[in-house]
């Protein structure tokens, strides 16, 4: 099975579980309709796919990992819904569709995001039948807190920020949940000796994802002549420094990936993140 086939296979496994365990249990309330609109809007499912890939590599049963895959995606989509609100990024579109608050209202978006965060912990708690899963839930909670901290930093964005401040935002807002997706499967197998390397991988893979996004967004902004002010490493420090950061963190990812023998999907996943154009 090549990378694309394996990626799509992991995605199909996750989507099937999400539909049966989540979508089919949602009501017709405005909050749940908002969740359906955003959660099932066709995202890349980066975090659940990473989690399933590491679960395979570490020998974690899908029945044990899938509740956490759903939980982390609930947290992620919650963050996107709230990030799009006028009080934060004030975006109109997400994944080619109008943002939730534009289709419904700010109130529905806020409540749908809140409900998703609650569903995340409800889902994970129901599966907590051993100490390893309780620890995994703590990993999710800790990294969710880091993600929220990164979002709070982002609200005070200034064009005068230096590189270290921007990276602090990215390492929390973007890297934290990617790190959780990598650490949780290892936690379920009590592989604490791997946590240091996996944390380094998660941080750098998140930075790679974000700086690639910034390069794509910068190019798009030049084409549309948009004047919207938002945090973007490339716009602030230039394409040359953006590309240097990209290759530096990509090499850090490869250095860690080399320690995991026969985990070819991980190296190809790093390539996928670096080479994507969307």
Rounded Cα–Cα distance for residues 65 and 187 (Å): 11
pLDDT of residue 136: 98
pLDDT of residue 89: 65
Rounded Cα–Cα distance for residues 16 and 22 (Å): 10
Rounded Cα–Cα distance for residues 58 and 266 (Å): 13
pLDDT of residue 226: 63
pLDDT of residue 223: 60
pLDDT of residue 110: 92
pLDDT of residue 227: 63
Domain total for the chain? 1
Closest CA to 269 of 252, 257, 255: 257
| Strand (E) or helix (H) holding 232 | none
pLDDT of residue 133: 97
Range(s) of the domain holding residue 216: 3-275
Q: Using 70 as the pLDDT threshold, list the residues of the chain that sit under it.
A: 89-90, 95, 222-227
pLDDT of residue 42: 81
HSE-CB at 97 with a 13 A cutoff on CA atoms is 14
Quick one: 13 exposed, middle or buried, by C-beta within 10 A (0-12, 13-18, 19+)? middle
pLDDT of residue 248: 98
CATH code, domain carrying 20: 1.10.600.10
Residues 6 or more apart from 44 whose CB is under 8 A from it? Answer: none
């Amino acid at each position: 099975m090549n990378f694309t086939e394996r990626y799509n296979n992991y995605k199909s496994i996750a989507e099937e579980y999400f539909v049966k365990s989540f979508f089919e249990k949602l009501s017709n309330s405005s909050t749940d309709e908002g969740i359906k609109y955003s959660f099932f809007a066709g995202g890349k499912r980066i975090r659940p796919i990473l989690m399933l890939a590491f679960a395979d590599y570490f020998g974690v049963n899908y029945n044990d990992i899938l509740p956490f895959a759903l939980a982390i995606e609930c947290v992620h989509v919650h963050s996107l819904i709230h990030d799009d609100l006028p009080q934060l990024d004030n975006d109109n579109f997400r994944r080619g569709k109008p943002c939730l608050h534009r289709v419904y209202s700010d109130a529905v978006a806020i409540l749908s995001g809140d409900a998703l965060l609650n569903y995340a912990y409800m889902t994970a708690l129901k599966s907590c039948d051993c100490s390893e899963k309780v620890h995994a839930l703590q990993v999710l909670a800790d990294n969710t807190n880091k993600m929220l901290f990164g979002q709070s930093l982002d609200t005070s964005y200034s064009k005068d920020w230096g590189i270290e401040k921007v990276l602090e935002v990215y390492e929390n807002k973007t890297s934290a949940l990617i790190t959780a997706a990598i650490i949780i499967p290892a936690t379920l197998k009590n592989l604490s000796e791997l946590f240091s390397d996996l944390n380094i991988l998660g941080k750098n893979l998140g930075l790679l994802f974000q700086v690639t996004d910034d390069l794509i967004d910068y190019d798009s902004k030049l084409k549309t002549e948009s004047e919207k002010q938002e945090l973007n490493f490339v716009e602030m420090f230039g394409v040359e420094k953006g590309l240097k950061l990209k290759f530096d963190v990509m090499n850090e990812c490869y250095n860690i990936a080399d320690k995991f023998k026969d985990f070819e999907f991980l190296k190809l996943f790093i390539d996928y993140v670096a080479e994507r154009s969307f």
